[in-house]
Chain A
Amino acid sequence: MLFSILTFYFVSRLIGGAGTEYLEPYGGDYFSFVLIGIAFSGYLMTALRSFSESIRGEQMMGTLEAMLVTPTDTSAIVMLSSLWSFIFMSFRVLMYLVIGILLGVDMSNANVFAALIILVLTIICFGSIGIISASFIMVLKRGDPINMFFMSTSELFGGVLFPISVLPEWLRTISYLLPITYSLSGMRHALLQGYSLFALAPEIIALLIFSVVLVPLGLLSFRYAIKRAKLDGSLVQY
């Protein structure tokens, strides 16, 4: 983590004021921009991996069946098995921010409450995507298309390492379809520039719309996947 942060710190010193026109909406500093990007994009990676990996881990250890025969709901077992991954990711994000501050990132104007709202919506959206991904794993066992799509597109089109305004207009359309775009934009505005909730309304509304669509979709797909796996008798196969 430290090496990754330092790499971007020195890259940012190298490029200096280049690209300021693109970075201006986020405060103008590349290191601050990329620090928030790599820190919070970790939640998406965690969501995409943790749910399916928790299922896969229990399947491989042989403990899943013994868990599923208890009254605790299957969904609760999968969600709670992933909880530690999210707690650990939150700790990592905190470390990113602390190291960033030590290296000169200015968060003195941060609107922490607004950042927390964005964070909660981010986790809801990313978590739902992760549950849809886990549903595919439960049925297909391998080759989950959701994971592949979000893993491959989010870093390029989601504004993790550079502002999406750098992209040609026609490619930017893809960015607008990804929740990570609004999540990182909102987080940067809240932490680096102290935007109010009102000023963050476009990002918050976009994340709310994604949540309204993704949460039921995630729950329904997971319910269907469990039913399908139970019908196939493949619940504990991997």
Chain B
Amino acid sequence: MTAVEDVNLNVKSGELFGILGPNGAGKTTLIKILCTLILPSEGTAHVNGYDILKDSGKVRESIGFVTSDERSFYWRLTGRHNLRFFAALHNYYSDDAKERIDELLSLVGMEDRADDRFLSYSAGMKQRMAIARGLLNDPAVLFMDEPTRALDPGAAQNVRKFVKEHITRDEGKTVFLSTHHLPEAEELCDRIAIINEGRIVAVGTLEELKSALDKPDPGLGDVFTHYTGKEFERGAAPKHVYQGRRRMMGGGRPGRIRY
């Protein structure tokens, strides 16, 4: 089964780039390919200038990965101990790690709870720890796989604000974020790629994507339906087949990655 096919994207430095699609569209597979966790069967990609196949070690030095999977931490350890462990895997010496961890705990507002066991954290706190872990190595590119999936609306809003204000605006990181949440993509992303059944069907700013529609004041849901022929909010069931030419923005040759 092909999970991702003909993906061809350029993401600019310092950009908050969103990949939007329903469950099973291939968002996570694409992020894992870019994070070197999955090898593409065809094609390649460059992350921070490094080839994911030839320089996978350099790619991993350049990136942070924030997953919404709470199980990716050691629950019986404290938040601080978890960060120390992962800092060691990022080749931090003890003193440097301590300094960096304190800085990150302060940044994500977890300094008061850092010495509590991970299992005692709320979903929002766990996600903040995941963001802190993703930033441990001060990455040039931060991959975030549905970072608000398990959060309540308030906590999700806090994470979105943090990503927008701290990670991209203050820290200047390039963020590659996947979401199936339309308002999140609208609120956060400088540019959006719409992925459907493993294929990128459109890329651009929200305004650029909307401009292709005849409908007055369309939402991102309308844009999604226009490019995929599916109602996004109704489980991505087929509505009509889009007959138009696939629209790709960002340049590059098509069909670069296939998995």
Contacts and interface: CB of A to CB of B under 8 A. Distances in A.
B29 A70 contact: no
A102 interface: no
A70 B64 CA distance: 8
B3 interface: yes
Interface string A58-94: 0001110111111111000100000000000000000
Contacts of A68: 37
Contacts of B259: 233
10 contacts: A61-B74, A62-B69, A65-B67, A67-B86, A70-B137, A71-B60, A73-B57, A233-B32, A233-B259, A236-B37
A108 to B, nearest CB: 44
Contacts of A63: 71-74
Contacts of B61: 71
A231 interface: yes
Given A62-B71, A63-B72, A70 B32 contact: no
Contacts of B65: 65-66, 69
Contact of A230 (B38, B71, B89, B137): B38
A235 interface: yes
A235 B38 contact: yes
A172 interface: no
B230 interface: no
Contact of B91 (A65, A66, A67, A71): A71
Interface in B4-41: 29, 32, 35-39, 41
Contact of A71 (B32, B41, B72, B90): B90
B73 A72 contact: no
Interface residues of B, number: 27
The residue in A61, A63, A67 that gathers the most chain B C-beta atoms within 10 A of its C-beta is A63
A66 B133 contact: yes
Contact of A70 (B41, B73, B89): B89
A77 B63 CA distance: 18
B129 to A, nearest CB: 11
B86 A70 contact: yes
A233 B37 CA distance: 8
A18 B91 CA distance: 58
A70 B35 CA distance: 9
B67 A70 contact: no
Nearest to A70: B89
B29 A77 contact: no
A62 B41 contact: no
Contacts of B74: 61, 63
A231 B72 contact: no
Contacts of B38: 230-231, 233, 235
Contacts of A69: 35-37, 60, 63, 65
A62 B73 CA distance: 7
Nearest to A62: B71
